[in-house]
A and B are shown apart, each in its own frame.
Chain A
Amino acid sequence: MKIKDTLENYVFVLPAVVIFSIFYIIPFIWVFQLGLFEWDGISFTKVFVGLANFKEIFLQDNNWWQSIWNAGYITLIALTFQNILVFMLAWACDREIRMKNFYRVIFFIPPVLSEIVVGMVWRFIINDIEGANIINRMLAAAGFPNLMHHWLSDPKTVLTTVAIVHCWKGFGWGFLIFLAGLQTIPHQLYESARVDGANAWQSMKKITIPLMIPVMVLVAILTVLGSMQAFALILGLVGGEFAGHTSVPVLRILASMRSSSPRFGYACAQGISFGMILVIISFIQYRFSKKGQ
């Protein structure tokens, strides 16, 4: 009877396991396997090179590490500037303010748009030669003509500009998740705190933040995964890697696949390495959040 139950359970799980294996496990193993070969993606012959591709990525490929650094910078700005601002706005919209539904809709528009479209629209907004130069015009109108700048063609400002546009684009998801999290906190807790004489800051510190930590961890992990993998926005904004200043891991993987002599094997090894880096970062974040709790 017990064996029959167990078998029955396996039969129920089997379709999901088969689908998961076909679309996740097998491709993953195949990509890893391809990472051990030198292959142009077309020829029938693949040359087995062992871990040489991984060795090249970790020890010789400076462009790869520069791309990781750039993606890390975008992620850092998204984790701090974007998430703090999003949290504050979600907190404001959770309270009884006028037109809060209107704000909710407005904040959710950017994530709905395609990254390429957002990149091209912002390119038009920012760019002074090809575009409308709106940012510089606004700066001049506000009395700061000395702050006018070639934001996208200066290597010192291009990555920060990309990061800020990325934050604008990613705003809505964090907002929605934070707002949903805030709405799960019972209002009686705030009322009790107010009766006990707590001010708004004390309520935030003692009630909101501790209860929101799991949500913050979720948003942080999603932000890291989304920001590290950003690339379409960069293509829309600056057209490519801009002498390495806007190169990110996904663009490097694409470059390996699309170069004049494509290296599919190397691109697969880059993909696996990048995946491992993301898993490690997410794991560290998770462990830290556990400790914090």
Chain B
Amino acid sequence: MLFKNVLLGIFVLFSVLGCSEQKLDSKPTINIWHWMTDRDPTFQELAKKYETLTRVKINFELYAPSDAYTQKIRAAAQGMNLPDVFGILGEKRDFASFVKAGHILDLTSYMEANNNSWKNSFFPKALAVNEFGPQNSYGINPGIFGVPIDIMTIQMVYNKKLLAKLGLDPNRPPKTFQEFLDVGAKIQAAGIQGLVSGWGEVWMINCLANNYAFNVMGEDKVLATIKGEVAYTDPDWIKVFTIFKQMKDSGVLAQGLVTMINKSAEQLFANEKAVFAFNGSWCVNVYKGMNPGLEYGAMLPPEASDKFPMAIWGGAGSSFMVNARSKNKEEAVKFLIWLMDQDQQAYLAAATNNLPANKNSLSKIPEILAQFARGMDYATHPNVWGVSEFSLVIEAFDRGIQSIIIGEKTPEQVAGEVQKIKERELAKRRTN
């Protein structure tokens, strides 16, 4: 009996000491999953710095490529084992599904604390991507659900040497669509490639087409189309489709553009084989790695109409979300506040050539990055429109433009096909 009591006493003593040890000394480990290969070494350095400052261990785990990362995040969400902090790649509807399923913490109260000090440090358009406004179509309570770690804009870039070779002013790229088309003939005569981009992966076609849709018909009409109030057979939409036919006919598009992946497009532009590229601001880092001496500038896509301003896709490049079910969510938020601070953001921008999301960090960045940053004035993004197009309509739209470029279909045919699918999806939604 005595022996049993002694044993029990030792067990209780060890348990109590064990518990108190844990409570007094241990700091949590924050697990962060991401897909950003180029930023991983810098993240690791910042994690070490934060651990030195706070004794909180930050464990950045890289899962690349982005497709594999997306699948991993989805599987983790289904298995309820998401990390403390993670990013979501995809459309707003996807993001909304994560919020609805209770996977993402509402950060509004943290953003608005101390007179909105955290919120005000970001570019508003970068924050908007992570925000759900009042009466959003996704049925989410209004709030901010993500932290932009950098910003991006998708624009055109031009090679200064090749423009000069074509007899054009290397510091004055084409401004109007007609000027752009006129370069096509010169490109053909010189035997070089015109515009390169990752149009084999189609979403970049969608991006440029939307840019021109905003330019030709304005934001209200584009959104009205998504809502089903304007048909894709409208003359303005046919004009948007026709822009791609005109580009093809003028010779300004590179050969094989519809099967080109973005990596190949980046190689062609960096190796000075193509005059123009349509690419995101992340390309600055990519081109620097491929050809440090490349002389190029960024420009908005040349305007096809003077009725409405040109719009480009931009906003939050990558964002981090906090797992609402994480037991370390408070520590995770503290780390994100530190990571988004001016000094860390400037360090991240300098090391990775990405545009910082903290607007106070913009003062000392290279000129090419500043050109991309200036594009933020024209930035929009499907994730801030509040409405989403049906995925089948987007697919038909993108495929249709590919068909126009390879000369298989006319703009009118494509417009008709897209509208047919749109009507089918609208009818399906009504019956549901």
Contacts and interface: CB of A to CB of B under 8 A. Distances in A.
A42 B94 contact: yes
A238 interface: yes
B408 A260 contact: no
Interface in B78-101: 78, 90-91, 93-94, 97-98, 100-101
Interface stretch (B44-52, B155-163, B254-262, B279-287): B254-262
B399 A41 contact: no
B256 A260 contact: no
B74 interface: yes
B201 interface: yes
A115 interface: no
13 contacts: A38-B432, A44-B101, A47-B432, A63-B395, A127-B256, A129-B268, A158-B259, A240-B259, A243-B399, A258-B67, A259-B391, A260-B94, A260-B389
Contact of B264 (A47, A130, A243): A130
Contact of B78 (A42, A127, A238): A42
B94 A262 contact: yes
A240 B206 CA distance: 15
B102 to A, nearest CB: 8
Contacts of B394: 259-260
Contacts, number: 98
A130 B74 contact: no
Contacts of B432: 38, 47
A240 B202 contact: yes
Contacts of B31: none
Given A240-B202, A260-B90, A260-B388, A128 B408 contact: no
B193 interface: yes
B256 A129 contact: yes
Interface of B: 67, 70, 74, 77-78, 90-91, 93-94, 97-98, 100-101, 103, 193, 198, 200-202, 254-261, 264, 267-268, 273, 388-392, 394-395, 399, 402-403, 406, 408, 424, 432
Contacts of A60: 424
Given A38-B432, A130-B267, A260-B90, 15 more contacts: A41-B74, A42-B98, A42-B101, A128-B255, A129-B273, A150-B256, A153-B256, A158-B259, A240-B200, A243-B403, A243-B406, A259-B394, A260-B389, A260-B391, A261-B91
Contact of B256 (A43, A152, A241, A243): A152
Interface of A: 38, 40-44, 47, 60, 63, 127-130, 150, 152-155, 158, 238-244, 255, 258-263
Secondary structure call for the B interface: helix
Interface centre among A127, A158, A259, A261, by most chain B C-beta atoms within 10 angstroms, is A261
Nearest to A236: B261
Contact of A243 (B94, B193, B260, B408): B408
B240 to A, nearest CB: 17
A291 B399 CA distance: 44
A153 B255 contact: yes
B427 to A, nearest CB: 11
A255 B98 CA distance: 20
A239 B399 contact: no
A38 B264 CA distance: 37
A261 B258 contact: no
A239 B261 contact: yes
B293 to A, nearest CB: 21
Contacts of A255: 395
